[in-house]
Structure 1
Amino acid sequence: MLFKSIVCSAFVLTALAKPELQFQKITNQLENSWHDFQGVLRKGANEIEHAAAETYLTAFHPAFPEYAIRYKQPSLCDPSVNQISGYLDVDDNKHFFFWFFESRNKPKEDPLTLWLNGGPGCSSLTGLFMELGPCTVNKAGDNTILNPQSWNSNSSLLFLDQPLNVGYSYGDGGATNTIDAAKHVYAFLQLFFNEFSQYADLDFHVSGESYAGHYIPRIGTEINKNNKGKFQNLRMSQFSDTLKPINLKSLLIGNGLTDPLTQYKYYAKMACENPYKPVLDKATCRNMEAQFPACARLIENCYKSQNVFACLPAAMKCNKDQVQPYQQTGTNPYDVRDPCKSGGMCYEILDSVQTYLNRDDVKKAIGARVEKYESCNMQINFRFNLAGDWMRPYVREVPPLLEDGIRILIYAGDADFVCNYMGNKAWTLELPWSRKDEFRGLKDIDWVNDDGQKIGEVRSTKDGLFSFLRVNGAGHMVPYDQPEAALQMLNQWLSNALH
């Protein structure tokens, strides 16, 4: 167990060294420092309680007195690389699980990529063990298999279970909307980079899929604003000198839900005119198209007010009219080519992942503390829906990020229905930013593998600032269906060679 420091001492001494400060200001600072000290003692007591069962290292940050991280260094999945796993603890009753893997190539130089699954309510360990992590789980769920196409081939990887009570995360309360969830992610990154400073200056990328099309733009905004000193609370302003700029280079969103107003328009077309086979008859698709204007008006109202009274009705009606007809066919909503199988989210492998992550030896090795791991928590999904988060326009976070030079890749497997490539491509073309006309005027070009075979289509600005990539033969989870193409995509994107 390692305590980094008593964080209040340096702050108090700094205040007293400036005689021009007024008495009231010093008093306020002392009160803040006493609050910090109490927080450290509280976390220390909690930490000792945990340490009775297992040994952890623990770290704090002066700008976030209610946060701490405790961690271990396991060797599961890919023993050849350094790993860190543990929890971000918040106010003693919120605990977010994370798992970090160093790059297999040059960990001191390669970038660091954060991965987030969506839902809302689904564990990012789905991405780890089913899609792009250093290993996959075997069918029996009692062992792992090394993944040669892992995204840590040329990038360190960081998986985070958020929001609260997703995957191995646990606690009371928690966020019910994307904005609050992003604040926890930013605090976690500050603590992580403060404790593991060897990674703090690396290029940093945020990636994910599905409802992460909400999460990622907002996380990008949170990082970008704080990097520019536009802090959201007084505490962060007071301790701004302790906040390290996060070297955010890009965002990658796969089959995401980012702009519902545009994307919902394409459900009928994807159901009847996708590249593989019609799922619905033409009459049903025509009926979906006829229902869409009413859906669009509700989403527009949500975009205008962003309050739950406008946004919840939009989600209820639009999902009923545009998604439910497809679901009633029994076809996999994440892949128009297949029926929905008995496993979690229509994939049998997710049952194997759950079996593995519920093993006592696995939980002990990585420090996981939940009684039962589940790939998705539908209560979280329900709470975000009830809060009206589903239909909110997080697409509006994208233009300011592009204008500030944050590169953004929108990619989509062309067999996914629920966040299909048609709708995703459409919103990239409609995005209101300074280079909209330029992007719309570009041509889609063939995206080929090393053998010269076409594996998709890409449209990208010449400088690689904004790109849309269609991946052939992949459903909702591109790295699962096309692992080699997904790794090629990542490597080309990180080296700004996708355009």
Structure 2
Amino acid sequence: MKWCTLASALLSAAGLTEARRSLQHVGRKSPILPRSPQHAFTDHHLAPRQSPKPKFANSNTTSYAVNGTGIPDVDFDVGESYSGLLSITEDLNAAEKLFFWFFPSTNQAAEKEITIWLNGGPGCSSLEGLIQENGPFLWQYGTYKPVPNPWSWHHLTNIVYIEQPVGTGFATGNATITDEEELAAQFLGFWRNFVDLFALQGYKVYVTGESYAGMYCPYIASAMLDARDETYYNVSGMLIYDPSIGEDAVQTSAVVVPFADYFANLMPFNNSFSAAIHEQHQSCGFANYSAKYLQYPPPGPQPPSSGLGGFSDECSDLFNTVFAAQFSLNPCFDIYQVATTCPLLYDVLGFPGSIDYQPAGTQPYFNRTDVKKAIHAPLETTWTSCASKPVFAGKGGDRSEPSSFRKLPRVIDATHNVIIGHGLLDMVLIANGTLLTIQNMTWGGQRGFQSAPSDPFYVPYHSLSLADDIYAEGTDPTKLATMAAAGVLGTTHTERGLTYVTVDLSGHMVPQYAPSAAFRHLEVLLGRVESLSSVRAFTTEPGYPQVEAKTLGNGTGPSMVDMSAAQGGQGKKGNPPSNAATAMSVGGWVVAGLGAVVLFQL
């Protein structure tokens, strides 16, 4: 019997700078198988095919239509799409406009639904998500040219990428908002115009995003729900990745030392520095904080992390201390994906990981005049990946309370369909900090999860996951650019309308690092698949062979395990994952995916 190794290269490049992208995204500044007969997935999404009749072409949308074969450097037909500026008020000629790029879906199940994608910041462009995460074409770090994306979310649903708030990307006008309530009000004005433009009245709306969109998405979705107008704002679910949802110190400094311990092979600090940060971790009360509050169910409300009774400035800065020290060991350290090492790869957006890196003679893709013309963007605007000026007016930036206090619970209780995903290699926001925040949040009449996450998160096997299938003679090389993992890739848990899921081997931008995982998340959000532990094949490749559910075991990865043992606490333990193996048989060949053994707790 021949065994095949399933591998997915998830490394990118990064390094140190003022880190406008790396920290601005979260609102902070920097201190071999036989060829399978089942090819529906790749045949449908990668093979040349005749474009279907446009679904949204009419006299009102003509000026926004994008030529799918005329996008610079993209040597294939992207299909039907529309882009341009649209006002945030009833006055369509107002100066304040947001920029969008809308991709209709050819999936028959996508009728009467639309998904919104927002990147974070504040002030970082959602075109990042389009070109490097879940859009119809991809241009990743260090790659030669754009390629078709078989994991594009438009294969499942109608999707629109929106640059917001005013001051972000191509969005025009003056930044006047001071908080998320005002941001949401402007967005709803834009959204009403967008719905009218494309006749989307009554469509289900799914709000998705990542990073600081952990603030954007709940506030926007909550405002839509408060409007009580399903003609325009029929919110049906929300998905947020590695999100800013809680107090900053809890999501970073309180959990950074155990994170560094778990990934000690990637963050190999010397004994003296390690002893110093461990002493501070103890003296600041972080060890006891996690041991006490990262429990299932939680013991009660957590004290505030700032102000009276909270953590000192020195303690809150522990994250930055650890972050800065890493660069002497790994000058290309990527806070987004901590397994990254040198060399530093060129990024067409100008930000490979943590570095603002723009080689001489190059410019960001979306700042090119030919690209601007192709997508109806304002030629006079200098596009940057993240805004160079604040998008919130006044001192102090966004004045809003964390979304986990009220807005996120509001959306969970109204929709019973919210997913929070987290890449385990992300340091800019750390998974256990997100879990601590969830355990301090009340929804559905209870605080936090009542039992520890332990269910397996399963990603179906598919024709871009099997090595011999991909490397077979005569294979379209495009497949090599879009390989993605399969099997048990993390841990998931659902209670009272909220699903939490971790993703192994993924950094901060889950659809970029783990596109097949994100594709599955979206299928569940849209109601196409019942849960993240389901062993059903992808709905876009329904005939592909899968494992049996009884072989899955528990979830993998460390984040569901509480920190108390590693930190000397006496807290109640959750259920650690087992060393679970999964296997599938295709024509007598076996593929095995081995679950991770947790040797110490994070």
| TM value normalised by structure 2 | 0.60
Are the structure 2 counterparts of residues 174 and 473 from structure 1 closer, same or farther at C-alpha, using a change threshold of 3 Å? Answer: same
1:355 is displaced (CA, Å) by: 2.9
Relative CO higher for 1 or 2, CA cutoff 8 Å, sep ≥ 6?
Answer: 2
Aligned-CA RMSD value: 3.7
> Are 1:440 and 2:447 an aligned pair?
no
Instruction: Spell out the pairing of 1:81-480 with structure 2 (5 A cutoff).
Output: 81-90=79-88, 92-106=94-108, 109=111, 111-137=113-139, 144-197=146-199, 199-227=200-228, 244-260=231-247, 262-264=250-252, 265-274=254-263, 277-278=266-267, 280=269, 282-290=274-282, 292=284, 299-301=305-307, 320-330=317-327, 331-339=333-341, 341=344, 343-344=350-351, 346=353, 355-369=364-378, 370-380=380-390, 386-387=396-397, 389=399, 392=402, 394-434=404-444, 436=446, 439-441=449-451, 443-451=453-461, 453-461=487-495, 465-480=497-512
Structure 1 residues 333 and 136, CA, compared in 2 at 3 Å: closer, same or farther?
Answer: same
Q: CA offsets per residue over residues 75-130 of structure 1, 9 Å max, x none?
A: 34674532121112357332211110011312761631101100111100000001
Residue 75 of structure 1 pairs with residue 67 of structure 2: yes
Q: Does the 8 Å CA contact 1:442/1:460 hold for their aligned counterparts?
A: no
Q: Which residue of 1 aligns with 2:530?
A: 497
CA distance in 2 between partners of 1:421 and 1:58 (Å): 47
Instruction: Describe the shift of the 1:412–1:379 C-alpha distance in structure 2 as closer, same or farther (beyond 3 A).
Output: same
How many Å apart are 1:58 and its aligned residue? 9.9
**CA distance in 2 between partners of 1:162 and 1:437 (Å):** 32
* Runs of at least 5 residues in structure 2 that lack an aligned partner in the other structure: 1-56, 290-301, 328-332, 462-485, 533-602
Q: Letter of the 2:222 partner, please give it.
A: T
Change (3 A) 1:107 1:453: closer
Q: Per the alignment, in what secondary structure is the counterpart of residue 256 of structure 1?
A: coil
- Distance, in Å, in 2 between the alignment partners of 1:338 and 1:248 is 37
SS in 2 for 1:248: strand
More displaced stretch, 326-335 vs 77-86 = 77-86
Letter in 1 for 2:323: Y
Deviation at 1:161, TM superposition (A): 0.6
> Any conservation in 2 of the 1:201–1:247 contact (CA below 8 Å)?
yes
SS of equivalent residue, structure 1 residue 193 = helix
Deviations 1:192-230 (A, max 9, x none): 112222x332321111111111111111111111126xx
Aligned partner of 2:245: which letter? Answer: T
Does structure 1 conserve the Cα–Cα contact (< 8 Å) formed by 2:114 and 2:203?
yes
SS where residue 404 of structure 1 aligns?
A: helix
Aligned CA distance change for structure 1 residues 442 and 467 (closer, same or farther; 3 Å): same
Deviation at 1:448, TM superposition (A): 1.9
Say which structure is richer in helix. 1
Cα distance in structure 1, aligned partners of 2:236 and 2:151: 23
Alpha-carbon distance in 1 for matches of 2:312, 2:208: 25
Q: Which runs of 5+ in 1 are unaligned?
A: 1-55, 60-68, 229-242, 305-309
Q: 1: distance between equivalents of 2:264 and 2:104?
A: 38
CA gap 1:334/1:482 in 2 versus in 1, 3 angstroms = same
CA distance 1:274–1:107, shift in 2 (3 Å):
same
- Aligned-partner SS, 2:220: helix
CA contact (8 A) 2:218 2:403 kept: no
Name the count of aligned residue pairs: 409
The one-character-per-residue Cα deviations of 1:52-71 (angstroms, maximum 9, x if unpaired) are: xxxx9998xxxxxxxxx995
Compute the displacement of 1:432 (Å): 1.5
Classify the secondary structure of the residue corresponding to 1:346: coil
Amino acid at match of 1:485: A
2:475 matched to 1:483?
A: no
Contact in 2 for aligned 1:81/1:103 (Cα 8 Å): no
Partners of 1:276 and 1:336 within 8 A in 2: no
CA distance in structure 1 between the partners assigned to 2:453 and 2:105 by the alignment: 34
- Contact 1:121–1:381 at 8 Å: present in 2 too? yes
Range with greater deviation from structure 2 (124-133 or 90-99): 90-99
Deviation at 1:271, TM superposition (A): 2.5
Report how far residue 450 of structure 1 moved: 2.1
Distance (Å, rounded) in 2 between the aligned partners of 1:190 and 1:348: 37
Percentage of identical aligned residues:
24
Q: Distance in 2 between matches of 1:149 and 1:130?
A: 11
Give the drift of 1:349. Answer: 11
Contact 2:175 2:393 in 1 (8 A): no
2:385 maps to amino acid:
S
Instruction: Return the offset for 1:474.
Output: 0.2
Could you say which residue in structure 2 is the equivalent of 1:48? Answer: none
* Cα separation, partners in 2 of 1:143 and 1:170, compared to 1, 3 Å: farther
The residue matched to 2:443 in structure 1 has which SS? coil
1:213 aligns to what SS in structure 2?
helix
Distance 1:469 1:432 in 2: 18
Say whether the 8 Å CA contact 2:116–2:160 is kept in structure 1.
Answer: yes
State the SS of the aligned residue for 1:259. Answer: coil
Q: Distance in 2 between matches of 1:485 and 1:345?
A: 22
Q: Residues 207 and 284 from structure 1, CA distance in 2 versus in 1: closer, same or farther, beyond 3 angstroms?
A: farther
Further displaced range: 403-412 or 317-326: 317-326
Shift in CA distance, 366/292, structure 1 to aligned 2, threshold 3 Å: farther
Please tell me the residue identity of whatever aligns with 2:240. I
TM value normalised by structure 1? 0.72
Amino acid at match of 1:208: G
2-structure distance, mates of 1:470, 1:123: 25
Distance 1:157 1:489, change over 3 A: same
Which shows bigger deviation, 201-210 or 133-142? 133-142
